[in-house]
Amino acid sequence: MLGNNETIHVYIVSDSIGETAELMVNAVVSQFNSASVEMHRETFLSDTERIKRIVQEASSQKSLITYTLVKTQLREVLAQEGQKYNIPMIDLMGPLLDVFSSLMSSEPRLEPGLIRRLDEDYYRRVTAVEFTVKHDDGKDPNGLLKGDIVLIGVSRTSKTPLSMYLAHKKLKVANMPLVPEVEPPHELFWVPAEKVMGLTIDPNLLREIRLERLNSMGLKTGNNYADTERIMEELEYARGIMRRVGCKIYDVSHKAVEEVAGKILYAVKESGKIWER
């Protein structure tokens, strides 16, 4: 039994950042108004010698050791050392791992920090999607310089669906429509060429797509938007811009979004100029 003014030294031992154990300890400590607790967070543990040093230090004072270790060997060594010095030990992860192992058909991966990596993965994806929505269809030209990829092409070349697909691969994508009457923002020509992807399409197919678009909107099919000459003019103008930029060009004719995205992702990886995920 501790006196009212005695301090309990709680050692939080983890082969990752130890956040889970610390949250649990704080939740328990909050239930005791007079508790005096000092935390010692020992993280990214990977060797048994360090375990022995931690336990020896803990043995010199009133201590409790809590731990979240996924590797069986480290858990066993820590438990043995704690028993040797008669230090209270609480394994916060081992029992749950054992129960899940008995219920599931596969063995645990036993990789430290997986949940943190999953959280980071999710955060990157959400960030990429938010960026891509904000910079769709030429919104905010400043985003052209902040993204991982810039897609350019005439209307109805799958810029938006491609952008969203790539965003779910954790790439921040901006896309920019190319229209002969509108000069592209100067930011486009400042973006490194390997980050810009040009999209083109067969003119006859594009006409069909645009006619369907007009029909779905209840507009006249004689609209200039689906005129063959106009389409040829737009595509030629877009090719000129792509040549000025010096970017790769992808033909999206009769191709699924996944197929074109796969080629773009391969180019991203090959360039080595864009943050790998």
SS3 labels along the chain? CCCCCCCEEEEEEECCCCHHHHHHHHHHHCCCCCCCEEEEEECCCCCHHHHHHHHHHHCCCCEEEEEECCCHHHHHHHHHHHHHCCCCEEECCHHHHHHHHHHCCCCCCCCCCHHHHHHHHHHHHHHHHHHHHHCHHHCCHHHHHCCCEEEEECCCCCHHHHHHHHHCCCCCEEEEECECCECCCHHHHHCCHHHEEEEECCHHHHHHHHHHHHHHCCCCCCCHHHCHHHHHHHHHHHHHHHHHHCCEEEECCCCCHHHHHHHHHHHHHHHCCCCCC
Boundary-marking domain end, from 112, 140, 167: 112
Residues 245 and 123 in one domain: yes
Overall domain count for the chain: 2
pLDDT of residue 176: 95
Boundary-marking domain end, from 57, 92, 112: 112
Residues 175 and 232 in one domain: yes
| Cβ atoms of residues 243 and 196 within 8 Å | no
- Phi then psi for 232, rounded to 5 degrees? -65, -40
pLDDT of residue 276: 40
Residues 69 and 119 in one domain: no
Report if residue 2 sits inside a domain. Answer: no
Residues 138 and 264 in one domain: yes
Boundary-marking domain end, from 44, 79, 112: 112
Domain around 83: 8-112
- Compute the radius of gyration of the chain from its Cα atoms: 29
Residues 92 and 143 in one domain: no
pLDDT of residue 242: 97
Closest CA to 240 of 227, 230, 249: 249
pLDDT of residue 55: 93
Two tokens, residue 72 = 């069986």
pLDDT tens-place values along the chain, 277 residues long: 444 567 889 998 888 777 778 888 888 888 877 668 888 988 888 888 998 999 999 999 999 999 888 777 888 898 899 899 999 998 887 777 777 777 776 665 555 555 555 556 777 888 899 899 999 999 889 889 999 999 999 999 999 999 999 998 989 999 999 999 999 999 999 999 999 999 999 999 999 999 998 888 888 766 789 999 999 999 999 999 999 999 999 999 999 999 999 999 999 888 765 544 4
